[in-house]
Structures are given as structure tokens and as C-alpha cells.
């Protein structure tokens, strides 16, 4: 993987982890995601005014991405409601790189080198070690585990869709903007349907943290879509999950969540996997 792409994806990982911590810290999880996604939609409109409009061929991908992101946000919000950030986040993201790898090889027929595949495997193993706590076991109620694993399916699906959409768009930046707009429309519409117009009053006091989360989330995924137009989708998807390390550190510092030796061992595996992906 090219060094510029590698470093850009690592930056995206830091930004992605940071906005997930904001979601855990601020108000209702679902409303936090809704606020962030809505503000990202506003940013997307601004981007569309600056960048060339994406090719028509990418429109179905952007629409599909909006639907998949809606499922992702609903499942993620439900997972965070009853689970610790430092455990739910690795599970929610952990299976996604392997699912993405399978999809890109079987469906897209994209080639990944042996070193790259090994790196993805080691990185995913590290993610699952990070999710361990206590007596080396996963301790989540069945419902939380279901929604966390379901989140990973949505992550893999929208990653492949957006990787392909960005490539056919002719402008990954404008494609990312279009995705932000559709995501905002679908999630805001769902929020109004589920919670009613009173949600505006509920989220208004948090517009500053919401703006910060939106900037971080938009920047992280903007970089990811661009990177997937320059490098194998599966490698970018896996490398992006180094955000697990940042979440673990932030959860230790700000959320006072427990970090055990298995999690530290997992952190080292994640770093080793990232190095192999860089070498691929």
C-alpha cells in the first residue's frame, strides 16, 4: 500500500474513534448519531457546491449506501445503549474486515496479496482479543451481542458499496458528499418517525459537540472513500479498524473502562497486522 494512502487511513482511524467516543459521552445514543449524521448532511451539501457532481453511474451506490448506513446507525445505537464502548466497538467492527475481504474477492474479484490477507487476518484477531475482558471471555447479553455483530455486517456491506461507488463516480470527494446527504435524509426521517419533532429541542443544546463529531466522522469517511479508490477495498477497510486502539485508550482515559492483558496483546496484533498491510 502506498505510504500516503497508509498514513491517510491511519488518520481516518483516529478521527473515526474520536467521534464514537463523543457518541458514548453525549445524550441519547440514537439522537447523538442522528445529530452527527444530520450535520454531516449539511456538510455534504457544501461539498457538492465545491466539487464536480459525481457520475450518474454512482447514484445507485450512494442510495444503497444511505440505506445500509441507516441500518448501521440503528444497530450501533442499540449496541451502545447496553454495552461498554471498549467492548461493543471492537465486536461491531471486528468481523467487518473479514466480511469485506470475502465480498471483494468473491463478488468484486479484487485481488489481495498473500501478505495483505495475512495482515488482515492478524489485525482481525487482534480486534477480537481487544474485545475480551475478565476471564478471557465475551460478556455481553445476547441482544447486545446480536446488534453488535449485526453492525459489522452493515459495515462490510456499505464499505464494499462505497468503495465501488467512489471508483465509478469520477470524483470520490463528491461521491462522499452525496453519501453524507442521503445518510442524513434517511436517518433524520427515521428519527422524526420514531421520536417525533421534539427531537430538535432535545439535540439543540449539543450542537457544538455534534458539529465536532460530524467533522470527525465526515473527514474519516471522506478519506476512506478516497483511499478505496487508490488501494484494495479490503486492505483499507482492515487498516481503518486500527481505530480500535484509539477507542481503547480513550475509553481508559475518559470512560474509566477496564483494559486487560488480553486487550493489550490484541493491540500489539493490530499493530502487526497494520504493518503487514503496509508491506502488501
264 C-beta neighbours (distance < 10 Å), count: 12
> Which pLDDT score, from 0 to 100, does residue 256 have?
65
Residue spans of the domains in the chain: they are 3-279
> Which pLDDT score, from 0 to 100, does residue 174 have?
96
> Which pLDDT score, from 0 to 100, does residue 48 have?
95
> Which pLDDT score, from 0 to 100, does residue 96 have?
82
Cell 445529530 -> residue: 35
Could you tell me if 152 and 94 are in contact, meaning their C-beta atoms sit under 8 angstroms apart? yes
Cell 468473491 -> residue: 106
Q: State how far the Cα of 88 lies from the Cα of 91, in Å rounded to an integer.
A: 5
Q: State how far the Cα of 197 lies from the Cα of 123, in Å rounded to an integer.
A: 43
Q: Which three cell numbers stand for residue 141?
A: 447479553
Residue 44 C-beta-side C-alpha neighbours within 13 Å: 27
> Which pLDDT score, from 0 to 100, does residue 88 have?
74
Report the residue count for the chain: 280
pLDDT in tens, the chain (280 residues): 788 898 898 888 888 877 766 665 556 778 888 888 999 999 999 999 999 999 999 999 999 999 999 999 888 888 877 776 666 767 777 778 888 888 888 888 888 788 888 888 888 888 777 766 544 455 567 777 788 888 889 999 999 999 999 999 999 999 999 999 999 999 999 999 988 988 989 888 888 888 888 899 899 999 999 999 998 898 898 888 787 777 777 767 666 666 677 777 777 788 788 778 877 6
User: Counting Cβ atoms within 10 Å, is residue 67 exposed (0-12), middle (13-18) or buried (19+)?
Assistant: middle
Could you tell me if 267 and 126 are in contact, meaning their C-beta atoms sit under 8 angstroms apart? yes
Q: State how far the Cα of 152 lies from the Cα of 21, in Å rounded to an integer.
A: 18
Q: State how far the Cα of 233 lies from the Cα of 242, in Å rounded to an integer.
A: 15
Amino acid at each position: 500500500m502506498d505510504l500516503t494512502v497508509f498514513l491517510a487511513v491511519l488518520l481516518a482511524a483516529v478521527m473515526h474513534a474520536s467521534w464514537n467516543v463523543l457518541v458514548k459521552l453525549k445524550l441519547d445514543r440514537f439522537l447523538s448519531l442522528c445529530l452527527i449524521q444530520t450535520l454531516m448532511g449539511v456538510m455534504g451539501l457544501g461539498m457538492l457546491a465545491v466539487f464536480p457532481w459525481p457520475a450518474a453511474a454512482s447514484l445507485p451506490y450512494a442510495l444503497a449506501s444511505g440505506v445500509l448506513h441507516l441500518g448501521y446507525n440503528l444497530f450501533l445505537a442499540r449496541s451502545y445503549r447496553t454495552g461498554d464502548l471498549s467492548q461493543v466497538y471492537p465486536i461491531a467492527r471486528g468481523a467487518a474486515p473479514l466480511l469485506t475481504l470475502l465480498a471483494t474477492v468473491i463478488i468484486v474479484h479484487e485481488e489481495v496479496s498473500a501478505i495483505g490477507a495475512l495482515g488482515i487476518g492478524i489485525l482481525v484477531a487482534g480486534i477480537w482479543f481487544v474485545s475480551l475482558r475478565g476471564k478471557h471471555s465475551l460478556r455481553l447479553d445476547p441482544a447486545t451481542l446480536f446488534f453488535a455483530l449485526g453492525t459489522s455486517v452493515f459495515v462490510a456491506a456499505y464499505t464494499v458499496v462505497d468503495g465501488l461507488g467512489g471508483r465509478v463516480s469520477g470524483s470520490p470527494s463528491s461521491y462522499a458528499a452525496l453519501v453524507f446527504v442521503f445518510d442524513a435524509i434517511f436517518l433524520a426521517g427515521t428519527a422524526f418517525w420514531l421520536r417525533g419533532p421534539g427531537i430538535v429541542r432535545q439535540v439543540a443544546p449539543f450542537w457544538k459537540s455534534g458539529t465536532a463529531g460530524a467533522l470527525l466522522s465526515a473527514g474519516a469517511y471522506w478519506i476512506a472513500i478516497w483511499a478505496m479508490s487508490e488501494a484494495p477495498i479490503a486492505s483499507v477497510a482492515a487498516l481503518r479498524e486500527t481505530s480500535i486502539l484509539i477507542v481503547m485508550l480513550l475509553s481508559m482515559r475518559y470512560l474509566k473502562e477496564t483494559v486487560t492483558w488480553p486487550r493489550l496483546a490484541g493491540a500489539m496484533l493490530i499493530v502487526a497486522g497494520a504493518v503487514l498491510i503496509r508491506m502488501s
